[in-house]
Structure 1
Amino acid sequence: MSNDLEVSALAINITIPEAIRWTDTRRGEAFTLSTLNVRLLPDGRLAAKAYGRPVAGGRGAYVSFPVPDRPELTALISSAAGRAGELWAGHRGLG
């Protein structure tokens, strides 16, 4: 039965450690990237986007950016995906 169930989304959010955060620019405004959203695609691959807030502060939008191809970010994503799998596998049901 479980193979017949359609799960439409598996996603996790990861806080990027301070030491590996980065800054990127969108429309002339600098953003510090502090969170990753990682999705498990139907074919088993992972997709990730980085999110952050304006460096200047204020109530700027929470904007997504591509994740750079850096070994420390790849390792973070892989480790977090593995940990999320462990947590999901050990769930204890609702409430």
Structure 2
Amino acid sequence: MTGSAEVDVSALAINVSIPTSLQWHDTRRGEEFVLTSLNVRLLPDGHLAAKAYGRPVAGGRGGYTSFRVPDRPELTALVDAAATRASELWSAHRGLG
């Protein structure tokens, strides 16, 4: 490979822990979840998309179920900060090994 334009990157995604103070609860199929992590993806047009994941409040494993991220300024700021930090880490990579 001689140039980055030749490489087809099909996905860019990061996992982000949600600080306790920003976590929230949501219900799916009658089961209550506490949302503790975000999966943030960089879309082909440069925008970000995020889904939240968590664990059942009652305990147990529960299903790997995604939830919509509420439109709250502090969560938007978390997604933005995480994407910016990930870009810094990726740009400073030291290669394999």
- Place the TM-score, normalised by the shorter chain, in its bin: over 0.9
Q: 1:6 aligns with which of 8, 13, 32?
A: 8
Q: Does 1:71 align with 2:93?
A: no
One-letter code of the match for 1:7? V
One-letter code of the match for 1:93? G
RMSD of the alignment, in Å?
0.7
TM-score relative to the length of structure 2: 0.95
For 1:40, the equivalent position in structure 2 comes to: 42
One-letter code of the match for 1:65? F
Count of matched residue positions in the alignment of Structure 1 and Structure 2: 95
For 1:60, the equivalent position in structure 2 comes to: 62
2:81 counterpart SS class: helix
One-letter code of the match for 2:42? L
For 1:94, the equivalent position in structure 2 comes to: 96
Q: Compute the displacement of 1:61 (Å).
A: 1.5
Q: Which consecutive residues of structure 2, in runs of 5 or more, have no partner in the other structure?
A: none
